[in-house]
Amino acid sequence: MTQLINWFSQVLAVSLFNFRSLPMRAGSSAAAAVGIAGVVAVLVGFLSIAEGFRKAVISSGADDIALVLRSGADSEMSSGLDRDDVRVIADAPGVARQLDGPLASAELFVIIDLPKRSTHTSANVPLRGVEKAAISVRGNLKVIQGRAFEPGKNEVMVGAGAARAFSGLDLGRKIRVGQNDWDVVGIFTAGGGLAESEIWTDAAVLQPAYNRGSSFQSVYAKLSSAGAFTAFKDSLTADPRLKVKVLRQSEYLAEQSTSVTGFIRSIGVFIAALMALGALFGALNTMYSAVSARTREIATLRALGFGAGPVVVSVMFESLGLALMGGAFGAVGAYFAFNGFQASTMNWQTFSQVAFAFTVTPSLLINAIVWAAIIGLLGGLFPAMRAARLPIAAALRET
């Protein structure tokens, strides 16, 4: 025990000398720290895109909202349900009810082209035809400007994210859908969720505009509780009249975000890994120089009786300290640069643009700091070993 305390006090003492001598090596130390800050900033930047996208896609997903698609459909785009299916689904057990009927909305999902505000190039925007129960089914939908569309009219209300990202979606403007012009009568929010990237209108008006007859693509049903899902699902999948797939909205949205978030994360990690390699060499170089510049000091400490172990650990501490300083700098910088930055990108599973805000979360920052720490430790390891292996007698005479 006493030996251990002695060992730690040696580590502390040598580490203290190392840190106190940092100003003498300010240039190379700062360069290594900045390299690591860059890695962290890029990693945080990319992961915040993936996180923001994921959050936008799944944040509106609730466990007590069920989504019914045709069996085998991957998304609403590839699904199709007819009027009879919709009636059976709305009457299934577990669906919450209001005075005027079940809380279920049969919906259409089509894609229209609109120019992006940022690039003026056209991009896909989802246009959703809904029934009047849709707002009650979603629960978190709030009209913040104008009003909701009126059933039976060529009117749309626009999600706040879509209104920000695309031109022509301001309140009072008209958009061209099929052969007709549609009035933008309202802007809504949906708790930052995916619906904010959509344009909503009356399904009954959208069906003839797109020659869909009486068919729909999905049914959104508000359940009496999250626990009612199993009964609801079992009743529909066991019904011989239906060939449907039943999902919780939360599951569906999580599934819809996986390929995009996975792709963005992969790119982020790949680029950060390349940069990390560069930063690692920077840290190695810095620490080799630090050890080389202090060869005589290290040898003096060893000659006085300081052990090789404490010297190794102290050099690694210094490297780790520099890396963590760089990492913290990069993380704070990335937070202020990226967090809340508004953007939109294509969700390949729905072929539509999703508006989202870059989201820097605490776990993401911790993740990036762990990267910095690994770079620091690896960067310090070999120089530390060199320091420990210095032949004391020869190193004492180094100038």
Partner 1 sequence: MSQSNEILVRVRDADKVFRRGSEEIHVLSGLNLEVPKGEFLALMGPSGSGKSTLLNLIGGLDRATRGTVEIGGERIDSMSDRQLAGWRARHIGLVFQFYNLLPVLTAERNVELPLLLTHLSKGERRQHVEAALKVVNLSHRARHYPRTLSGGEQQRTGIARAIVTDPTLLLCDEPTGDLDRKSGDEILSLLQALNREQGKTIIMVTHDPHASARATRTVHLDKGQLVTEPAP
Contacts 24+ apart (CB under 8 A), 390-397: 390/295, 390/298, 390/299, 390/302, 392/299, 392/302, 392/303, 395/295, 395/296, 395/298, 395/299, 395/302, 396/296, 396/299, 396/300, 396/303, 397/296
User: What's the closest the beta carbon of residue 32 comes to partner 1, in angstroms?
Assistant: 19
- Tell me if 296 contacts partner 1 by CB under 8 A: yes
Report in angstroms how near the CB of residue 8 gets to partner 1 at its nearest: 11
* The one segment of 1-9, 63-71, 155-163, 327-335 that binds partner 1 by CB under 8 A: 1-9
The mark string for 217-256 relative to partner 1 (x by CB under 8 A, - otherwise) is ----------------------------------------
Pairing of strands 122-130, 142-146: unpaired
Q: Binding string, 148-177, against partner 1, x = CB under 8 A?
A: ------------------------------
* Cα separations in angstroms, 63 against 26, 67, 168, 189: 54, 10, 34, 20
User: Is the CA virtual torsion 334, 337, 340, 341 positive or negative?
Assistant: negative
Closest CB 305 distance from partner 1, rounded Å: 3
The minimum distance between CB 56 and partner 1, in angstroms, equals 52
9 binds partner 1 (CB under 8 A): yes
> From the list 8, 24, 259, 370, which residue makes contact with partner 1 (rule: CB under 8 A)?
24
Q: How far is the CB of 13 from partner 1 (least distance, A)?
A: 5
Nearer to partner 1, 125 or 384 (CB): 384
Among 17, 210, 341, 382, binds partner 1 (CB under 8 A): 17
Question: Which range, of 20-28, 145-153, 208-216, 374-382, touches partner 1 by CB under 8 A?
Answer: 20-28
Site size toward partner 1, by CB under 8 A: 26
Position 273 contacts partner 1 (CB under 8 A) = no
The site string for partner 1 over 370-399 (x = CB under 8 A, - otherwise) reads: ---------------------xxx--xx-x
Q: What does the DSSP 8-state code read for residue 61?
A: -
| Amino acid at residue number 349 | Q
> Quick one: which H or E segment has residue 110?
strand 104-115
Collect all residues with Cβ–Cβ distance below 8 Å to 322 and sequence separation of at least 6. 29, 32, 33, 36, 283, 286, 376
**Residue 1 within binding range of partner 1, rule CB under 8 A:** no
Which residues ranging from 81 to 120 are in contact with partner 1 (CB under 8 A)? none
Cβ proximity of 201 and 156 under 8 Å: yes
Residues 6+ apart with CB under 8 A from 381: 316
SS3 292: helix
- Pairwise CA distance, residues 79 & 394, whole Å: 78
303-322 mask for partner 1 (x: CB under 8 A)? xxxxxx--------------
How many other C-beta atoms are found inside a 10 Å radius of the C-beta of residue 3?
7
- Interaction site with partner 1 (CB under 8 A): 2, 6, 9-10, 13, 17, 20-21, 24, 296-297, 300-308, 391-393, 396-397, 399
